[in-house]
Amino acid sequence: MVEEQLAARGIGDPAVLRVMGALPRERFLPPEMEENAYDDTALPIGHGQTISQPWIVARMTEVLDLPGWAVRHPGRPVAVLDVGTGSGYQAAVLAAIGARVTSIERDPELAERAARTLASLGLSVRSVVGDGSLGYPPDAPYAGIVVAAAGPAIPPPLVEQLAPGGRLVLPVGPPGYQELTVAWREDGELRTRTLGGCTFVPLVGRHGTDPGREG
Cβ-based neighbour number of residue 121 at 10 Å: 16
Closest distance of CB 133 from ligand SAM, Å: 4
Residue with smaller CB distance to ligand SAM, 59 or 106: 106
84 in contact with ligand SAM (CB under 6 A):
yes
Give phi and psi for 162, each to the nearest 5: -75, 135
Q: Can you tell me which of 2, 16, 66, 87 binds ligand SAM, judged by CB under 6 A? A: 87
Q: Is 52 a catalytic residue?
A: yes
Are 145 and 162 in contact by the 8 Å Cβ rule? The answer is yes
Stretch that binds ligand SAM, among 8-16, 19-27, 32-40, 81-89 (CB under 6 A): 81-89
d(CA 58, CA 55): 5
Choose which of 6, 105, 167, 198 interacts with ligand SAM (CB under 6 A).
Answer: 105
The set of residues, in sequence order, having a beta carbon less than 8 Å from that of 111 and lying 6+ positions away, is 85, 105, 127, 128, 129
Nearest distance from C-beta of residue 149 to ligand SAM, angstroms: 4
Could you list the beta-strand ranges (E) of the chain.
43-46, 49-51, 79-83, 100-105, 125-129, 142-147, 162-172, 178-186, 189-198
The total number of residues shown for the chain amounts to 215
Q: Which of 133, 161, 178, 181 binds ligand SAM (CB under 6 A)?
A: 133
Does 66 bind ligand SAM (CB under 6 A)? Our answer is no
Among the listed ranges 1-9, 32-40, 137-145, 195-203, the one in contact with ligand SAM (CB under 6 A) is: 195-203
* Residue 127 CB coordination number (10 Å): 20
Residues that are catalytic: 52
- Under the rule (CB under 6 A), what is the footprint of ligand SAM? 49-52, 83-84, 86-87, 89-90, 104-107, 110, 131-133, 148-149, 200-201, 203-205, 208
